[in-house]
Amino acid sequence: MSNYLNDLFSLEGKVAVVIGGTGELCGAMGEGLARAGAEVVLVGRSQEKAQTRMNSIAEQGGKSRFIAADVGSRAALDTLRDEVLSQCGRVDILVNGAGVNSPTPVLDITEEEFARIIDVNLTGVLRGCQSFATYFLENKIAGSIINLGSISGLNPLSRVFTYSASKGAVHNLSRNLAREWAPNQIRVNTLVPGFFPAEQNRKVLTPDRVAQIMGHTPMDRFGEAHELVGATLLLASNQAGGFITGIEMIVDGGAVLGEFVEVALYLAPVEAVAPIGDEVLHVVAVGAVLPARVVGLIRPAGRGEAPVEKNSSKCGRKVGEKKSA
């Protein structure tokens, strides 16, 4: 069994560049990549933070190094790429995890602050993908790109609307790049953490906020950084995850279940007309994934009120059941 798992997940001979690797979450991901055999390049701005992680990697027999870089410049990331190639000889895996956050309310945030968050969280990811994918394409390397998303990129969260907007865009960008580069065997996926305490979000974790988060998380706890490693290895490995691209790998303790839905597989086109707040939602679909409050209003498309044969499984709350406090 151990040989089988090693064949699937071993990253021996691979080089992984982890942008944001001096942070808590990406640092843990980088450490996991190193333990799987990859030579890991931690990228950030703090040599001190990187050294602590590098010491841990070395204690476990892994190999890592630190290179300072700023995602705010394509030229800086091209220089980073060239330096990694000079020192390591190749690149196989890229993790884009640099990010910033802000609790500034929507009516108070300045355009400058909004643009700064978008530049780091979204445009910085684009720059990293452009720089390293150029190398993958020119050298016909089946590279793996893992972009760090967020549960707030799926479900808008109060107090971090700019961060949510930027991460939602990262999810969409990743799917577009996955489609673009799939013929070249370059895989692009989004790793989506749920609620993980980290340096950039601790300032918004008030007691009320924590209680709200726990109310959205069926496992009733925060995630721990090491719990991202398994998903990271799956997405990084061309043996285990070689046919996986364009997905959102959600690691959230079930948080997404509390917000979404009933999944319904319909045997024929269906339509639903439902009030959503002050608006009316009209859906026509086959094999639809619809909000639970809509499912009971479904009928066959263009066939009046006749019943629809369906096979559905509910995720989270029952239809019509209110969320507990």
User: Residue 155's pLDDT is what?
Assistant: 81
Domain-terminating residue out of 232, 254, 276: 254
Percent of the chain surpassing pLDDT 90: 62
Mean pLDDT to the nearest integer, 166-188: 98
Q: Are both 247 and 277 inside the same structural domain? A: no
Closest CA to 94 of 174, 203, 155, 198: 174
Residue 161 host element (H or E): helix 161-181
Domain count within the chain: 2
Q: Are both 101 and 12 inside the same structural domain? A: yes
Q: How far apart are CA 266 and CA 285, in angstroms?
A: 9
Q: Are both 301 and 240 inside the same structural domain? A: no
Mean pLDDT to the nearest integer, 161-172: 95
23: phi > 0 → left, psi -120 to 50 → alpha, else beta; which? beta
- Indicate whether 322 belongs to any domain: no
Residue 316 has pLDDT above 80, yes or no: no
Tell me the two tokens of residue 18: 């982890």
Average pLDDT, the chain: 82
Cα–chain-centroid distance for residue 282? Answer: 30
User: Residue 296's pLDDT is what?
Assistant: 46
Output the CA angle 244-248-250, nearest 5 degrees.
Answer: 115
Domain-terminating residue out of 233, 254, 275: 254
Q: Are both 73 and 177 inside the same structural domain? A: yes
Strands laid side by side in the 270-276 sheet = 279-285, 270-276, 298-300
Q: Are both 169 and 264 inside the same structural domain? A: no
Q: Are both 108 and 134 inside the same structural domain? A: yes
Mark whether 163 is an active-site residue. yes
Residue 293 has pLDDT above 70, yes or no: no
Cα–chain-centroid distance for residue 105? Answer: 24
- Indicate whether 119 belongs to any domain: yes
Burial 187-213 (b: 16+ CB within 10 A, else e): bbbbbbbbbbbbebbeebeeeebeebb
The DSSP bridge partners found for residue 280 are 275
Residues 11-51 pLDDT 10s:
999 999 999 999 999 999 999 999 999 999 999 998 999 99
Residues 104-113 pLDDT 10s:
999 999 999 9
22: phi > 0 → left, psi -120 to 50 → alpha, else beta; which? alpha
Residues 113-157 pLDDT 10s:
999 999 999 999 999 999 999 999 999 999 999 999 998 898 877
What end-to-end distance do the CA atoms of the chain give, in Å? Answer: 45
- Indicate whether 320 belongs to any domain: no
Instruction: List the domain range (segments joined by +) for residue 264.
Output: 260-314
- Contact predicate 95/106, CB 8 Å: no
Q: How far apart are CA 150 and CA 217, in angstroms?
A: 14
Q: Are both 303 and 166 inside the same structural domain? A: no
pTM: 0.79
Cβ neighbors of 122 (< 8 A, separation 6 or more) are 166, 169, 170, 173
Q: How far apart are CA 248 and CA 154, in angstroms?
A: 10
Residue in 4, 135, 163, 266 annotated catalytic:
163
User: Residue 222's pLDDT is what?
Assistant: 85
3-state class (DSSP) for residue 152: helix
Q: Are both 246 and 273 inside the same structural domain? A: no
Q: Higher model confidence: residue 293 or residue 205?
A: 205
Tell me the two tokens of residue 194: 């749920």
Lowest mean pLDDT among 273-277, 281-285, 306-310: 306-310
